[in-house]
Chains A and B, each alone.
Chain A
Amino acid sequence: MKILVPVKRVIDYNVKVKVKADGSGIDLANVKMSMNPFDEISVEAAIRLKEAGTASEVVLVSIGDKKASETIRAGLAMGADRGILIEADTDGDIEPLVVAKLLVKVVEEETPQLVILGKQAIDNDMNATGQMLAALLGWGQATFASEMEIADGKAVVTREVDGGLQTMTVTLPAIITTDLRLNEPRYASLPNIMKAKKKPMSEKTTADYGVDTSPRLKVIATEEPAGREAGIRVGSVDGLVEKLKEMGLV
């Protein structure tokens, strides 16, 4: 069984984001970029299935600028087998609908039994690509997975839902999106980082797939959110109780 894992290059989760002064977007000049944290969880899940003998190959795909190849290399260093870089012909973010349409083409070429995506990219916070890909392929989906097991042509998935947890099954081929509690991604060892440099990575462009990449959501403004002023320190629990009473909160 082959597993496809789409990985996105995003601003590192530790970076304090700044809106450009002219309101045209986010300042990404010279900021640290990393693999979307949920995608590290997906890569880890796929590698574990390979180590358990359930999967035979783990293929990574990333859509973005040339530097997305670094993100693929990071996943190869964790233990994935090969990568596909799809260079986008647009600047800025590529919408989940476009990503899903490109992934449909990759799925048609690669015929994986399972595609594991992150539940959400921490830059656009869309939480959409996996569900969209499932729709376009006509496959079943199991989103926000915190446990998964593959057996008898099915995935048994425990999902993080609004009121707790839900367990469901989905017939393969299927889409799974990962939540935070699924696993703790490994760090790549130095020898594995070296080995990853020699793993195969094919390079394509969005034009190779004949997918229209124009956005459906036209961004007309990007602003800083309303700020919050720091308040006051209270010296004691009594001081706090007094303030809360003054405000009529308790």
Chain B
Amino acid sequence: MAVLLLAEVSGGTLALDATAKVATAAAQLGEVTALVCGPRAAGEAAGKIAAISKVLVCEDEAVANGLAENVSQLLLDNADGMTHIISSASNAGKNVLPRVAALLDAMVITDVIKIVDAQTFKRPIYAGNAVQTVVSLDAVKVLSVRTAAFEAAGEGGYAAVEVVALTGVSALTAHVEDKLVASGRPELTSAKIVVSGGRGVGSETDFALISALADKLGGAVGASRAAVDSGFAPNDLQVGQTGKVVAPDLYIAVGISGAIQHLAGMKDSKIIVAINKDEEAPIFQVADFGLVADLFEAVPELTEKL
């Protein structure tokens, strides 16, 4: 069994935690070759992940921005002899893997949370209200995995790094610009603590209450869809069925009602705290510790007392 792993790269650097988690999943399937679209240094960082045996780096500008036409071509160019192609179930992975699968006449397996054996996988459906076990009948298995469901592989590896070239650049798409949100906080999907705000927070200005609590705890900030749609928080902070899936040690939901679409993104957190003024809010059904209170009083007090 041989596995080709598409590494997570963000802003030219390797997303180490995410890649190391995908590597853990990949190593359950066979020997892992990581493909890194980015500078050589990112490739070298991947080579230190113990579960990775070999690293291929492509420094071509045409794959640096994740454009699916080019990245899928690069994956296919390097897929000879591979039994599995794997990535994180991030937006970057989900943009590319179904395209690769279709070109291999295979069905992609999205959001895998458990690898049963080399062809059997578990994945949630219906916003996590059910879990399916599927057996892939395809020659090459193409799958994306939820990083929240796997431990990060350790470091201490020394995989050889080989530079590979892209055979042809697609003229179909062109990159214009990235507007990435820079924050000094830990990355949402790998943070140990996440504090999320919902519609109850009321405004972009008051969302600072959420950030202040997160900063006090050294955690990441998340948001419900309602908070993002209302412009309180940027889109990349949305937690849920159609946003990011997180499973930190501590998740604090503030002014969030607990719709199934939100629960889908956080219900595997170890400890859940809910702060909501409505004692009937469904979020309390999944919370380990519930506090019925007005967030405008409770959150500043909590930030101060921690």
Contact = CB atoms under 8 A, between A and B. Distances in A.
A119 to B, nearest CB: 7
22 contacts: A97-B108, A122-B127, A126-B108, A127-B98, A128-B94, A135-B102, A161-B91, A161-B178, A162-B10, A162-B90, A163-B11, A171-B171, A216-B107, A216-B136, A217-B134, A217-B136, A220-B134, A228-B272, A230-B284, A232-B288, A247-B271, A250-B250
Contact of B176 (A156, A163, A179): A156
A16 B129 CA distance: 8
A165 interface: yes
A163 B236 contact: yes
Nearest to B301: A237
B290 to A, nearest CB: 5
B302 A135 contact: no
Interface string A66-92: 000000000000000000000000000
Interface stretch (A50-58, A108-116, A139-147, A203-211): A139-147
B170 to A, nearest CB: 7
Contacts, number: 256
B40 interface: no
B289 A234 contact: yes
Given A128-B110, A163-B11, A237 B127 contact: no
A244 interface: yes
Most buried by A among B67, B170, B261, B272: B67
Q: Can you list the 4 inter-chain pairs with the closest CB atoms, starting with the nearest?
A: A140-B172, A231-B288, A131-B98, A135-B102
Contacts of A123: 125-126
B118 interface: no
B285 interface: yes
Contact of A241 (B68, B98, B107, B306): B306
Interface of B: 10-11, 65-69, 72, 90-92, 94-103, 105-111, 120, 124-138, 170-181, 193, 217, 225, 228-229, 234-236, 241-242, 249-250, 260-261, 267, 271-273, 284-293, 298, 301-302, 305-306
Contacts of A181: 228-229, 235
A143 to B, nearest CB: 5
A248 B28 CA distance: 32
Nearest to B67: A168
A127 B87 CA distance: 14
B135 A217 contact: yes
A216 B137 contact: yes
A119 B291 contact: no
Interface of A: 11, 13, 16-17, 19, 26, 95-97, 100, 119-120, 122-136, 139-144, 146, 156, 159-171, 174, 179-181, 215-225, 228, 230-234, 236-241, 243-244, 247, 249-250
A250 B306 CA distance: 7
B287 A142 contact: no
Given A225-B129, A233-B291, 18 more contacts: A13-B261, A19-B129, A162-B92, A169-B173, A171-B173, A181-B235, A223-B133, A224-B129, A225-B128, A228-B267, A231-B272, A231-B290, A233-B284, A236-B291, A236-B293, A237-B302, A249-B250, A250-B217
A66 to B, nearest CB: 23
A217 B286 contact: no
B166 to A, nearest CB: 16
Contact of B242 (A119, A156, A232, A243): A119
A97 B292 CA distance: 47
A241 B130 contact: no
A131 B102 contact: yes
A125 B124 contact: yes
Given A100-B102, A132-B102, A125 B172 contact: no
Given A122-B241, A180-B229, A244-B250, A219 B108 contact: no
A160 B217 CA distance: 28
A156 B72 CA distance: 21
Contacts of A136: 102
A240 B302 contact: yes
B132 A222 contact: yes
B56 to A, nearest CB: 22
B7 to A, nearest CB: 13
Most buried by A among B99, B110, B120, B177: B99
